[in-house]
Amino acid sequence: MDEVTTDEGRQWRRSPGGLVTALHPVLAEHKGTWVGWAGGTSEEAPEPFDLEGIHIHPVPLTSLDLERYYEGMSNATIWPLYHDAVETPVFKRRWRESYRQVNARFAEAAADVAAEGATVWIQDYQLQLVPAMLRERRPDLKIGFFLHIPFPPIELFMQMPFRAEILRGLLGADLVGFQQRLAAQNFVRLARHLLGLRYEGQVIDVDGRPVKAGAFPISIDVAEMERMAADPAVQNRAKQIRAELGDPRTVILGVDRLDYTKGIELRLKAFRELLSDGKLSVPEAVMVQVATPSRERVEHYQTLRVKVEREVGRINGEFGRVGVPAVHYLHQSYSRNELAALYCAADVMMVTPLRDGMNLVAKEYVAARADTGGALVLSEFAGAATELRQSFLCNPHDPDGVKEALLRAVHVEHPEARRRMRLMQRHLRTHDVGHWARSFLNELGVPDVEVA
């Protein structure tokens, strides 16, 4: 939920995005409560309130929590470690303590609001201790946990200083969901390796209590994206974007949070080398890179921004002309409509993360192209690669492989491009975000739902 200022003063508004879209109807139907951080850093959280049929229970974070728990432990320790340590994780004892305190605060809040025998679904890596903390306070609850990011192999996870505590935290749940089967396997093997627990298939025996692990690949609200992309205003905006870019033959697009896992630099480098090899040229081909500002106070992110902007400058310096840049770099946030227009305007979408739990941008692009135009270049290291098999897959660690996939996508014949797009769309229509939420909750055996 976001707090916004309107003509009528400060008001709450539903945040846009797939997770809220998926869970809102489930929560509304079961009269559920959303327990979450409401943004801001005051000692006191805003009072609980109702919004569009669900009850919102805000949890406060102070500016010290923000620095230690959120930017520190969550985004400078766990985030890089779980993404193959593509950036070196930073370990600090005071961050760990703050992570414990904030997790306890969330567990307390959920324990307070959950009805007898209710279901609580905990989301993501910032709250890994909550399942066990909540079970301790409320053994009557049914507890689910879903990890939106990858779960690393044993060798990497073992670097974590309070690894056993995190693992025990997760094992407090009845069902632990991951994006990928491989992540679920990493988890059950880790339980045996670190705690000597026995498992059969995907079910771990935690002192006689079964804890299930499973893969539940998340998705998007496909119908909503299709509707948005078909809207004449969005279509017109897409045409206008192409015109503003000088009506090039090929528009290559990237849309990411400015994050080092997303492979923005390597994508730029592939484009630069193709320009320099003479395989692509400006203005026939131009690239648009939207890099949404993200976690700007974390050092890894500041360093990345410098590197990306240096590469953009280099490409434009070498291959641009006055009024005709080779790369249009946009370090800004856009509305959902503008993103849809960008998707519709792009001949080739580049999604090249070094590691990504799923990557919803790849799915949004496919859903937006109901005209079956466009081609998707996709890293094998994105969770989405397991499903979007008809994309132009590449290994982001191999620069020549990325260049080759990009060229194949640029030059693909229309019938072949359409065939690929259609198959991927067919898959997404039956595997949307509603399907994700239902499969998880069914596996958990849910009649009532509470979501943290």
Cα–Cα–Cα angle for 77, 82, 86, rounded to 5 degrees: 80
Q: Restricting to residues 144-163, which ones interact with ligand GDG according to CB under 6 A? A: 148-149
What's the min distance (Å) between Cβ of 255 and ligand GDG? 6
What's the min distance (Å) between Cβ of 339 and ligand GDG? 5
Tell me if 341 sits within 8 A of 241, measured CB to CB. yes
Residue 221 in contact with ligand GDG, rule: CB under 6 A: no
Q: Which is nearer to ligand GDG, 1 or 358 (CB)?
A: 358
H/E stretch holding 336: helix 336-345
Residue 160 is encoded by which pair of tokens? 């974590």
The binder of ligand GDG chosen from 163, 334, 393, 418 (CB under 6 A)? 334
Per-residue interface string for the shown chain with ligand GDG, residues 13-52, x marking contact by CB under 6 A: ---x------------------------------------
Residue 292 in contact with ligand GDG, rule: CB under 6 A: yes
Residue 229 in contact with ligand GDG, rule: CB under 6 A: no
Q: Restricting to residues 428-447, which ones interact with ligand GDG according to CB under 6 A? A: none
**Residue that has been written with the tokens 């079910």 in this structure:** 203
What's the min distance (Å) between Cβ of 336 and ligand GDG? 5
What's the min distance (Å) between Cβ of 420 and ligand GDG? 20
Dihedral of alpha carbons 408, 410, 415, 420, sign: positive
Question: Residue type at 348?
Answer: V
Q: Which is nearer to ligand GDG, 280 or 341 (CB)?
A: 341
Active site residue 84: no
The catalytic position among 84, 124, 148, 193 is: 148
The binder of ligand GDG chosen from 227, 257, 269, 427 (CB under 6 A)? 257
Cα–Cα–Cα angle for 365, 369, 371, rounded to 5 degrees: 170
What's the min distance (Å) between Cβ of 279 and ligand GDG? 28
DSSP-H helix ranges across 87-128 = 93-113
Separation of alpha carbons 148 and 249, rounded Å = 37
What's the min distance (Å) between Cβ of 322 and ligand GDG? 28
From the list 96-104, 264-272, 330-338, 367-375, the region that binds ligand GDG by CB under 6 A is 330-338
Binding residues with ligand GDG: total (CB under 6 A): 19
Closest CA to 383 of 411, 361, 355, 424: 355
Q: Which is nearer to ligand GDG, 24 or 272 (CB)?
A: 24
Which is it for strands 49-51 and 54-59: parallel, antiparallel or unpaired?
antiparallel
Please count the other Cβ atoms lying within 10 Å of the Cβ belonging to residue 193. 14
What's the min distance (Å) between Cβ of 148 and ligand GDG? 3
Per-residue interface string for the shown chain with ligand GDG, residues 73-112, x marking contact by CB under 6 A: ----------------------------------------
Separation of alpha carbons 363 and 343, rounded Å = 11
Q: Which is nearer to ligand GDG, 25 or 293 (CB)?
A: 293
Active site residue 148: yes
Task: Report residue 231: phi and psi, to 5°.
Answer: -60, 125
**Residue that has been written with the tokens 């849910």 in this structure:** 446
Backbone angle region of 222, left / alpha / beta, with phi > 0 → left and psi within -120 to 50 → alpha: alpha
From the list 97-105, 270-278, 356-364, 441-449, the region that binds ligand GDG by CB under 6 A is 356-364
The binder of ligand GDG chosen from 87, 226, 356, 387 (CB under 6 A)? 356
The binder of ligand GDG chosen from 186, 359, 390, 391 (CB under 6 A)? 359
Closest CA to 229 of 140, 340, 78: 340
Tell me if 147 sits within 8 A of 169, measured CB to CB. no
Separation of alpha carbons 79 and 85, rounded Å = 8
Closest CA to 391 of 364, 411, 417, 427: 417
Binding site for ligand GDG (CB under 6 A): 16, 148-149, 218, 255, 257, 292, 333-336, 339, 356-361, 364
Residues assigned a catalytic role: 148, 356
